Amino acid sequence: MMHRKFLRVVIVVFLLTIISLGLYRTKTLTDQAQHNPTPTGDLQRFETTSMDVFDSLTQITLYAENKASFDKESKVILEDLKNYHALYDIYNDYPGLNNLKTVNDHAGVQPVVVDQKIIDLLEYSKKIYATTNGKTNVAMGSVLSIWHRYREEGLANPADAQLPPMEELKAASHHTDIDSVVIDNENSTVFLEDPEIRLDVGAIAKGYAAEMVVQNAKESGTRSLLLSLGGNVRVLGAKPNGKPWIVGIQNPSLEDQDNTLAEIRAVDTSLVTSGNYQRYYTVAGNNYNHVIDPKTLMPASYYNSVSVITEHSGMADALSTALFCMPYEEGRLFAEKQKDVQVFWVFKDGSTAQTQGFKKLTEFN
Amino acid sequence: MKPLKPKNKTQHLVLLALLFAMAMVLALVENSLPPILPTIPGLKFGLSNIVVMYTLIFLGSKPALAIALLKGLFALGTRGAMAWAFSTFGGLFALFAMMLILFIFKNQSTYLSISIIGAVFHNLGQFLMVLLFYGVAMWTLLPILILFGIAAGVVTATSLRFLIPAFKHIHREDDR
Amino acid sequence: MYDDRRETATMTFFKKSDLILIVLLVFIALGVWWTLPWLRAGKTPVAEIYEGNRLVKTVALTEGQTEVFHLEGIDNVTFRLNAEGSIQFLVSDCPDQICVQTGKLSKIGETAACLPNNLLIKIVPRKFQHKDDHPDIIVH
């Protein structure tokens, strides 16, 4: 009799453990989706797009009370982005504005007084440089501009497309020391000590700007917003009903219909993908993308794409560039050292890999 | 062949435990396979449902019900509530379908037909769950699930073909 | 409870009539497969084509139709609607060719843009009824 009683107790304890474990798992998953309180009132979904900023497609999806308030909110976001774009532009001058091109043009000449937004970006970039061990370096402009020139020429004249000579790239790579970017906080100036050094914030600016713009929107009361700057996705909150945003990742190289590799449930986070499908040119039948590995000075070619999910979209942008330039083993170790960062790799053959916590983000519940 | 009749409670419990262990192993094997649809992690072809069929055939409906429910709890513990719903509903759906066939056709039914009906209804149960949870009928899934059900049923029946003589053997030793 | 074991004890493994069951199930499966396009009709997504911010054309991504077309007044860009229910930039005179390289679009949330020509294709749900399980955006 004692035995049977004991057995019963064991079974009950076992069942309770399983049930509580299950409930716990369910709860943590729903918590992610619902930690933003549902706003009262009926919010409607609105979308708009723009092709005016950051040389990419901007998409805004926003839940607002009515069309008028959506127009107001989205206009503020777009104006904000336009402002960031002008400041971080290295190709164009804007009358009455000191931007990164102004800073570049005064390399080795004199410090340039700039907007706080530029100082903040460059300070963030220096932090990122340390985090990524130099894989994401905004002071690589001299090397990138050579690639940029050859790519533009190659696209304009595909038959005569050339690769930049390695000597030219090597010579430029001697002028990429981020420490010669001198920031003077007191006088709000930036000075490039090395006359040959150039800033190119392409690896980080879109993500950083998206982050800042979304933070601004949050401060002015926006609760549910998805902002995509050419695939740099930043979401604010969940949808008003507590459901997460859904961000799909596709294999860029596959043409077939069902090429969605993963769907992320996103709440207050960002997803940035570095890939080779977007900007490339072809030399002698080979494609050369625009992500240049600082070590080899050549386009990185380990993957079709690398997606990074983390809250700060500037971080996600920078890390995705850095990881795109790392072989998988190295990248995996690097990714696992970062806090609250999930990574999804798509290899050349279409196979994928992911960090431990990534799968959880793809599950319904 | 006579049904397997455990002599006492202990033997009954041991048998049930063994079958449940088998169900868990099959569930783990299935978990390691790539999902049918990456977007619906709970959806499975139901390898572990094979055990429910065995139990129904060897031990009867009550123990089979127990296994189906336990299997669901295992899914709950390892994969969360959604998996529990998929597993339990699929298992119960399959079980009731098989019981119904047995009830209607009695011993005129065959192992093959019962296995197939069980597997197909297991998958239909999951389809209904998808409908319930996601509010969308993934019609593309339905034919695939039915065809896989037929295949799974054939596999189960074939393995029964080899297992039953073995069980018969145990049974004979029991009788002595 | 009704004891099934009495029946299973005297059951056979296989009878010819089982084939009827299998054939029947296969037919049901095929039947569903064949009626799929019909079931899907009316639920297919829609492609919106924008010039800048102006919606200039909507195309239902109905399966089985193929069409190559231009937008009025824009001859330097060609679009194609594909039979499997997708749409793409087929030819464009832009230098970077990003729009063409983006390939076929078929899923809600997908976009392809041609910035030099200020053109955008965007896949949206029919009647603007975005559901919670539709992707909000798809990235490459």
Enter the ipTM: 0.78
Task: Please report whether residue C91 resides in a domain.
Answer: yes
Which residue matches tokens 């931007």?
A: A99
Render A199-220 in DSSP notation, one character per residue: ---TTTHHHHHHHHHHHHHHHT
Q: Which of C4, C30, C133 is closest, CB to CB, to B134? A: C133
Task: Please report whether residue C135 resides in a domain.
Answer: no
Look at residue A179 in the predicted model and tell me its pLDDT: 94
CATH code of the domain containing C111: 2.60.320.10
Rounded Cα–Cα distance for residues A320 and A233 (Å): 13
Ramachandran sector of residue A218 (left: φ over 0; alpha: ψ -120 to 50; beta: rest): alpha
Q: Exposure pattern of B107-122 as b/e (b: 16+ CB <10 Å)?
A: eebbbbbbbbbbbbbb
User: Which residues are CB-contacts of B19 (< 8 A; sequence separation ≥ 6)?
Assistant: B51, B54, B55, B59, B63, B67
Q: pLDDT higher for B3 or A82? A: A82
Rounded Cα–Cα distance for residues C62 and C82 (Å): 9
Give me Rg for the CA atoms of chain A. Answer: 24
Contacting residues of A for B134, CB less than 8 Å apart: 364
Query: Exposed, middle or buried by CB within 10 Å (0-12, 13-18, 19+), for A16?
Result: exposed
C75 and C93 co-located in one domain: yes
Task: Please report whether residue C58 resides in a domain.
Answer: yes
Look at residue A33 in the predicted model and tell me its pLDDT: 41
Count: domains in chain C: 2
Half-sphere exposure of B23 (CA within 13 A, CB side): 28
Task: Please report whether residue C136 resides in a domain.
Answer: no
Task: Please report whether residue C103 resides in a domain.
Answer: yes
Expressed as residue numbers, the domain containing C31 is 5-40
Q: Quick check: C83 contacting A, CB < 8 Å?
A: no
Query: Exposed, middle or buried by CB within 10 Å (0-12, 13-18, 19+), for A81?
Result: buried
- Joined together, the tokens standing for residue A200 give 């190119």
Rounded Cα–Cα distance for residues B72 and B58 (Å): 21
C50 and C25 co-located in one domain: no
Task: Give the residue extent of every domain in chain A.
Answer: 43-88+213-361, 100-192
- Joined together, the tokens standing for residue C1 give 């409870």
C64 and C118 co-located in one domain: yes
- Do the beta carbons of residue C40 and residue B139 sit within 8 Å? yes
- In chain A, the residue whose alpha carbon lies closest to the alpha carbon of B70 is A15
Rounded Cα–Cα distance for residues A38 and C108 (Å): 25
Q: Among A13-22, A44-53, B75-84, C38-47, name the most confident range.
A: A44-53
Chain-chain contact of A257 with C84 (C-beta, under 8 angstroms): yes
Q: Which of A51, A226, A257 is closest, CB to CB, to C86? A: A257
Look at residue A296 in the predicted model and tell me its pLDDT: 94
Chain-chain contact of A250 with C138 (C-beta, under 8 angstroms): yes
Strand order of the β-sheet with A181-184 is A112-113, A189-192, A181-184
Average pLDDT, integer, range C63-67: 80
Q: How far B82 CA sits from the closest chain A CA (Å)?
A: 7
Q: Which of B99, B110, B143 is closest, CB to CB, to C33? A: B143
Q: How far C8 CA sits from the closest chain B CA (Å)?
A: 6
CATH code of the domain containing B107: 1.10.1760.20
- In chain B, the residue whose alpha carbon lies closest to the alpha carbon of C12 is B110
Q: How far C16 CA sits from the closest chain A CA (Å)?
A: 40
Look at residue A121 in the predicted model and tell me its pLDDT: 96
β-pairing, A245-250 with A260-266? antiparallel
C75 and C91 co-located in one domain: yes
Q: Which residue out of A44, A46, A50, A57 would a mutagenesis test of the C interface target, given it has the greatest number of C Cβ atoms within 10 Å? A: A57
Average pLDDT, integer, range B11-24: 82
- Do the beta carbons of residue A131 and residue A191 sit within 8 Å? no
Task: Please report whether residue C139 resides in a domain.
Answer: no
Q: Which of B1, B136, B142 is closest, CB to CB, to C32? A: B142
Look at residue C7 in the predicted model and tell me its pLDDT: 55
Look at residue B105 in the predicted model and tell me its pLDDT: 82
Backbone angles phi, psi at B137, to 5 degrees: -85, 110
Contacting residues of C for B150, CB less than 8 Å apart: 22, 25-26
Average pLDDT, integer, range C16-34: 87
β-pairing, A245-250 with C137-139? parallel
Which is nearest to B71 in space by CA: B59, B53, B58? B53
C59 and C122 co-located in one domain: yes
- In chain C, the residue whose alpha carbon lies closest to the alpha carbon of A153 is C95
- Joined together, the tokens standing for residue A143 give 């090397």
C113 and C55 co-located in one domain: yes
Between the alpha carbon of residue B158 and those of residues B2, B124, B147, the distances in Å are 19, 22, 17
pLDDT exceeds 80 at position C127:
no
Rounded Cα–Cα distance for residues A218 and A199 (Å): 30
- In chain C, the residue whose alpha carbon lies closest to the alpha carbon of B4 is C5
Rounded Cα–Cα distance for residues B130 and B48 (Å): 19
Q: pLDDT higher for B58 or C56? A: C56
pLDDT exceeds 60 at position B171:
no
Task: Please report whether residue C24 resides in a domain.
Answer: yes
- Joined together, the tokens standing for residue C58 give 């909507």
**E strand or H helix at B87:** helix B81-105
Rounded Cα–Cα distance for residues A288 and A295 (Å): 16
Rounded Cα–Cα distance for residues A113 and A102 (Å): 10
Written as tens digits, the pLDDT of chain A (365 aa) is 456 666 666 666 666 666 666 655 554 444 444 333 334 457 888 999 999 898 889 999 999 988 899 999 999 999 999 999 999 999 999 999 999 999 999 999 999 999 999 999 999 999 999 999 999 999 999 999 999 999 989 988 888 999 999 999 999 999 999 999 999 999 999 999 999 999 999 999 999 999 999 999 999 999 999 999 988 999 999 999 888 999 998 876 655 545 678 889 999 999 999 886 667 888 988 888 889 999 999 999 899 899 999 999 999 999 999 999 999 999 999 999 999 999 999 998 888 899 988 888 887 54
Strand order of the β-sheet with C46-51 is C54-60, C46-51, C119-124, C111-114
Look at residue A20 in the predicted model and tell me its pLDDT: 62
Q: How far A337 CA sits from the closest chain B CA (Å)?
A: 26
Q: Quick check: A21 contacting B, CB < 8 Å?
A: yes
Q: Quick check: A19 contacting B, CB < 8 Å?
A: yes
- Joined together, the tokens standing for residue A2 give 């004692």
Q: Quick check: C101 contacting A, CB < 8 Å?
A: yes
Confidence of residue B162 (pLDDT cuts 50, 70, 90): confident
Task: Please report whether residue B4 resides in a domain.
Answer: no
Count: domains in chain B: 1
**E strand or H helix at A313:** helix A313-324
Length of chain B: 176
- Note the CATH architecture for domain A100-192: Orthogonal Bundle (1.10)
pLDDT tens-digit readout, C69-110: 999 888 899 999 988 888 999 999 988 888 888 888 888 889
- Note the CATH architecture for domain A43-88+213-361: Roll (3.10)
